[in-house]
Amino acid sequence: MRPAPDPATASASAGNPYRLPRTVEPVTYRLVIAPDLERATFEGTVDIDVTVHDQVDEIVLNAAELTVRSVTVLPPAGDPVTPGVDLDEKAERLSLRLPAPLAKGDATVSLTFSGVLNDRLRGFYRSTFTDPEGRARTIATTQFESTDARRAFPCWDEPDRKATFEVTLVVDEGLLAVSNAPVAEESAGGRSGDSGGRSGDSGGGAGPKRRVRFAPTMKMSTYLVAFVVGPLEVTPPVDAGGIPVRVVHTPGKGHLTAYALDVAEHALAFFTEYFGIPYPGEKLDLVAIPDFAQGAMENLGCVTFRETTLLVDPAAASRVELERIADVVHHEIAHMWFGDLVTMEWWEGIWLNEAFATFMELLATDHYRPAWHRWTTFGIERDMALAVDGLHATRPIEYPVGPPEEAEGMFDLLTYEKGASVLRMLEQYLGAEAFRDGVRHYLDSHAYGNTVTGDLWKALEEVSGEPVRAVAESWILQGGHPLIRVDGETVTQEPFAYLPEPRHGSSAIGRQWLVPLLVRRIGAGGGTSGADPASAPDREPSGAQSQRALLGDGPLSLGGGGTGIPLANAGGWGAYRVAYTGAQLESLAGLLGELGPLERFDLFSDTWALVLSGRLELGALLGLANGLEDEDEPGVYRVVTGALDLAERIAGPDLRPRVQAATRALLGRRLAELGWDPVPGEGERVPGLRSMLIGALGTVGKDGRVRSEAARLFDAARAGGPPVDPDLESAVLGVVADMGRDGDFEMFLDRYRHPSTPQEETRYLMALTAFPDVERCERIFELATSEARSADGFLLVRGLLANRVGGPAVWARVKEDWDALLARLPDPNQAAMVGTVRLLCADRTLAEDVERFLTEHPVHVGQRTVVQTLEQLAVHVALAERLRSNGRLAAALEHVPVG
C-alpha cells in the first residue's frame, strides 16, 4: 500500500493544474485486455485497488480516446456504488462523481471500456507487416511514454503514481502475447470479466480464445506498462545471470536475433555490477516492432524496438550499424535501473532519465567493444547538441513542464546528448569511481520510488565531497554554454552564440557557468601523445598530468607552471567551446600529433563553430585541415566535410569548381593512402573514415576516379558479383545516386521494397533521396506520403529537403501537403522532418519563405525544435552572405593548395 504523500509533494502537485488530485492513489491494477486485430479494436476491464487519503466525493483519473461502459466503486466498507461519469476529452480526465462521500481507507475502482487500435504509433496501436508467404498480418502493441497509457486503459497516468500491474490478455489461438512480467497461467476462454473483478465481458471477436495471465510487476509507473499481441515468433531464452532473455520478432527473422541477445547478455552483467543492484525484473523480452516511431522504449521486462535497432545480420552490417544497435540495447536496459526502478517525479526530470541512460549506454558499449572508441564517437553527437545550444532559441536542459505536449517536446538533442555530456564532464572531473559510488548511493536510497534531479546531486556530493549541485545546476537550469578563451596563461569565459542578437524575443543563453576544467600543456618539446593518458582515445585524463580547476566569473590564471600551450579541454570531455589566440591556433595546427582523437575533434569543431559565428574566417578551418596527414579519426574529417558541403551549396557557379577542387585536395590523398579495401590490422574506426571520404569526394568533390570506382563496385554487385562491403555501401549508394545514371533509380526502389535486412532497407531508403533530379525527388516525396511506413516518411522528407537539386521543389510540395503530412507522420517525428531546411540557405528569398511558413504552421509536437532549426537556417544565411562579400570565400579557398 502506498503511504500518504509527502506534504511538500502534495503541495507542489496541487499548484500544477495538469496534475491529478493526490487524495486517491493507485496501489494495484488488475487489467484484462482483449484486442481484436481484424477489426482494430479492443475491449477491457480494470480493477484498481486504491488508497483513499482523505474523504472525497469525486475520484479523478486519466482517460483518452476510450469509451467507458461501466464503473463501480467498492468503498472501504459497504456495498459497491455506481458513480456518475464525466469524460473530459480535452483535459484527458475521467471524473467519477460518487453518490456519497468515500471515506479514508482501501477501496477498489472497477471499469469496463473499449477503444480503437490506432495507426498513430501511440497508446495501444496496430502495426502491420507482410509475412514470408506474402500475407498481410497485424500486431497490436503499445507505446505509452509520455502520457499515452490513458489511451489503453483508465489510470493515474503520472510517473509518481507507481503501482503494481497484473495484466491478462485475451487473444486468438495461435497468437503470441507478451507483457512486462512472465506468464503465470494460460487457459482457454474469452471473457475478461472472469478475472475475479466486478467487470463485464470484454468480447474480443469470433474464434477460439485463450487467456494469458502474467505475474504481477514490481511497483512502477504507467508509462512503463507494455503488452504486445500478434503472429510473432520468439527465440529460445538465453540465461543471463539467471534472467531469461528472448527476442520477439516477425516470422522469418530469427536469424537476425543473435547479436541483440549477445549485447543484452553483456548489458545485464555490466549494469548489475556497475549499479550494485540486481536486475529489477524477472525476465527480459526484446520485441522488434515493424512500425515504431522512436528507436526503442524501456518498458520493464518488455522492451520494444524499431526493427532496424534490434535485428541485424552482423556479416551484412557496417560497424556503425552494429554500434547503433549495441547503443540502443544498452540504453534501454540501463533504464531498467535508472528510470524504471528509480523514476523522475514529474516530466521535467525526463532529461536525467534519458541523459543518464545515454551516458550508461556509452559506458557499456565502450566496455563491450573497446576498439570502437565509443567515447570518441560521442564527440560528434555532443557537437550536434552544442550546435543547437549555441542558438538563442535553445532551452535549459531542465525546465518546468505543464501539459503533456511539453513533456513530448523534451525528447531532443539537449535532453540526450547535452545532458549526457554534462554527466560525462562531471564524471571526469569527480573521477569515475566517485561518480559510480554516488550513483549507487542514489539508486539504493530511492529504489521503487520517485526523485527530483537534486536527489542525484545530493548523492554525488555526499560521496565525493565536491560542490556538485552548484556546478551541475549552472549547466542544467540555464540554456547555452560558455566559450572558454585562452590567452597566454589566462582563461576566461563568455556566453557563446552563433548570432550576435536573438532574432525574436529574448535569448535563452545563460550568462555564467561553473566550468570544470582539465588543462594540460602541449608543444613543450618531445611530444606527449604516447605518454600522456589524456591523449589516448577514450581514457580518463591523468590527474598527475592535467591541472584541475573550476572557472567562475573572473579570469583564471593557470599559474605559468609549465611551458607549451595550455589545452583547456584536456581529454576532450568539456561541454563547451574553446577559442585560442591566432598565434596559438597556428601553433596547434602543427601539433595535431600531440592531441588525442577527441581533442583533435574538439579543436576542429570549435574552430568551425567560431567560423559559423563570424569570429573566424573559413580559411582558419581550411588551414587547420591542411595538417591532416595520417588522421584516422572520422569525426575530425566529418567537421571538414560538413564545412565543405555547406561551402559548395553557398558557392555560385564561378566558385563551385574551386570548392570541389579543395575537397579533392584535402581528402583525396588520405583516401589514396587508405585504399578501398580493408587492410589487416587497421583500426575498427578506419572503415568509417574510408566511407566518409568516399562519400564526400564522390558527391561534394565530384572526384571522377571515386565516382568510377563506386559505380564499378555497385554494378559488379548488381550483376551477381561480390556484394559491396557493408561499411562502404551507404557511401557507394550515395555516390551512384549522385551520378543520376539511367536505370539506377528503379533498381534502388526495388531493393528498398525487397530488402534482405532492416539495415539494407534503410540504406536504400536514404539513397533514394540523393538523386539530383527534381522529378525523381517528387516521386520519392509521393512515396513518403503513401507507401512508406509512417515512421519512415519523415526520413524521406528530411533527406529530400537536403537534396542540392530537388530541395527547393520538395519544399514547395511540403507546403502544399503540410496538413496531410502532419496527419500521417507520428507527432515525435514532425519536427525532425523539417530539420534539413537549414541547408536551404543559398537563396535568402527561399529562406524567408521557409521561416514564414513554419512559423505560421506549427507542428503538433516539438515546435521549439522547429524554431531552433529556423535559427540555424539564419546562421547559414549569414555565413553565405559573409562568404560572398569581398571575395571572402575565394580568399578562404586560397588556404588549400590545389596541385
Please list the active-site residues: 332
Nearest Cα neighbor of 65 from 135, 147, 128 is: 147
Collect all residues with Cβ–Cβ distance below 8 Å to 6 and sequence separation of at least 6.
none
Cα 380 → chain centroid: 14
Residues across the chain: 899
Helix (H, G, I), strand (E, B) or coil at 182: coil
CA–CA separation, 112 and 114 (whole Å) = 7
Collect all residues with Cβ–Cβ distance below 8 Å to 753 and sequence separation of at least 6.
none
Helix (H, G, I), strand (E, B) or coil at 849: helix
Measuring CA to CA, how many Å separate 570 from each of 151, 468, 554, 592? 49, 20, 21, 13
CB atoms within 10 A of CB 152: 33
Helix (H, G, I), strand (E, B) or coil at 811: helix
Q: 328-363: string of b/e by CB count within 10 Å (b at 16+)?
A: bbbbbbbbbbbbbbbbbbbbbbbbbbbbbbbbbbbb
For residue 171, the one-letter residue type is V
Strand segments, DSSP code E, in 714-760 are none
CA–CA separation, 298 and 336 (whole Å) = 7
Are 567 and 522 in contact, with CB atoms under 8 Å apart?
Answer: yes
Given its phi and psi angles, is residue 431 left (phi above 0), alpha (psi -120 to 50 degrees) or beta? left
CA–CA separation, 719 and 713 (whole Å) = 10
Are 93 and 60 in contact, with CB atoms under 8 Å apart?
Answer: yes
Are 242 and 294 in contact, with CB atoms under 8 Å apart?
Answer: no
For 540-617, where are the alpha helices, taking DSSP H only? 582-589, 597-612
HEC per residue, 95-117 = EEEEEEEECCEEEEEEEEEEEEC
CA–CA separation, 199 and 47 (whole Å) = 8
CA–CA separation, 190 and 44 (whole Å) = 11
The C-alpha cell at 137 is 498480418
Are 654 and 884 in contact, with CB atoms under 8 Å apart?
Answer: no
- Range 249-256 contact pairs with CB under 8 angstroms and sequence separation of 24 or more: 249/287, 249/288, 249/307, 249/311, 250/129, 250/131, 250/137, 250/139, 250/288, 250/290, 250/307, 251/131, 251/132, 252/131, 252/132, 253/288, 253/307, 253/311, 255/313, 256/311, 256/312, 256/313, 256/757, 256/758
CA–CA separation, 756 and 741 (whole Å) = 24
End-to-end alpha carbon distance in the chain: 78
Are 486 and 566 in contact, with CB atoms under 8 Å apart?
Answer: yes
Q: What is the DSSP letter of 838?
A: G
The C-alpha cell at 358 is 545515454
| CB-count exposure of residue 733 (10 Å: 0-12, 13-18, 19+) | buried
Torsion from C-alpha of 272, 411, 64, 301, nearest 10 degrees: -20
The C-alpha cell at 796 is 524521406
User: How are beta strands 243-249 and 284-289 bridged, if at all?
Assistant: parallel
CA–CA separation, 240 and 98 (whole Å) = 49
Measuring CA to CA, how many Å separate 99 from each of 57, 83, 364, 488? 8, 6, 55, 78
For residue 865, the one-letter residue type is T
The C-alpha cell at 537 is 582515445
